[in-house]
Chains A and B, each alone.
Chain A
């Protein structure tokens, strides 16, 4: 007879609805990135140019079909590879997602060294964890070298899970609707000074009155997204 040793009952782990609907062939592997998600990732990387930064990609769409990344949560800009705060952040975002009908569908990272956009071991580890719960999870690396005004190409490199490893996604399966408009919105955020509104989880821990869900900034961005475009 052995004693019951579980002192901790974890009702919540990183639990997400599993993918039970097969992807239809013509939508296979398509990923859509919204203006809101892109803008906040870009702002996050810009806010800490000398640090590696990371965050989570979220979707408010139902599972199945193309992956629509509708929002993101900026997480860290210090000690990305230390466990406790990452675990804490993942748990909190998970809870928030279940409260707001969103799912974690990916992970993004921008390396401190702008010329190197390859995924670090830490990035692969976290992406792996997300993939356990979401089988079309994406790993997104921000390409620092392409982050300059007037660059015509999105500074993004995406990876997907194929044959037990993370493989580069075909660029043609990545959709950024209204790219020109998205760029202009990001520029507007910088000129109005609103880029300083962005809060990541690290900053929240430094001052817990700061809102890591970025409600204020989200509202500003959605204001700039023209209503005619509908679901951006």
Chain B
């Protein structure tokens, strides 16, 4: 059997760690190599992510290596351009898409031209600003669009952005032509997302949800605001040129009609556009609630051990019953319940008395060689690993285990299906719940691994306006705390005390 004792492992690590270099997951290196090299290069394993990469090193450090497949990084950055009359959901789509792409690891940012206009024209007076014959208004709007495009260029070319979402009406072919030319000049791919909707009820609801609260209408009453906004829409209607099947047949786009009832998809160029189309076709705006919670307290939780597949402690069982009652009291129509394939989540769901579906993808993060250890034991056997984890908890992969970054990959189909669903309760685990929560609440990779997801607490998420409302419901059954904050000292040479400073108490 291989020698996998912790001591040997750590020694091997020391030999390859020069400094705790966090390898950027964005590195795409195309190396030049002579085409008939016979001897394969030596490989070394990056200590943080456990990725095998070739030496020779430059300056003693492992060479920045060729891409790690998470999402296929298109070679050129992509510019997504929204198209549509006001109150058609463009900003809703922009923000949601941006949130999704960032979560799966594609650096994305939205650029809302209306925002630029608000910064330029300090005070909004009325819809007259948007009249097509308002020369001065047109000039300002044109400038704002240019300013936004300039920032787009900076983001994609200089700041490592991969996707930029250009959120504006872009309702004329002329405006879209300008943007396409801009993209071509800079080597960006363009993908249009048009939202077409004629249902007056949907439009009125949109106005109520997101326009009335806009900075443009802070000093107006509801009726005035509604009236003005409708006149604003009219200003755009006459010059609106929808994407045309014939005239625009060489453009890449998706046309979303009637809030997702129908889609027209044209000339999808690459992987990222294909993923974007799939995502847009799965989201909906039907009101619903998502309940997230962890399994009840488990026997291993009580001992302070991570991972494993233990059953519920007596308090955990109590929680399960309370959860069942809570769910009943919520009187949710058509509730779906999902669990992982680990005993503790299934035991919890059993008490809810609703049929449930088991997902292997919802299993807790695999701690590899550290499975079922207490933090004290990890510090004792793998002090280097323990320190690396504190240095970059998102990217850190347990030896023979997983990282949070891996988790996000495996949870992506769960998120996709969550988007399709309506009322749903997900009974899962700490690391999993952090990943899901980060998606709904738009948390960064840095924040994600430290989100607080205590036992015996249900989070009720309700999509509202451009985001998500969160209610936290503690079901009043005591449980151990399993949240370990990042300690101050993350250095590999720190003392045991420093390392264990933030470990929560346990038996």
Q: Do A and B bind each other?
A: no
- Residue positions of A touching B, CB distance < 8 A: none
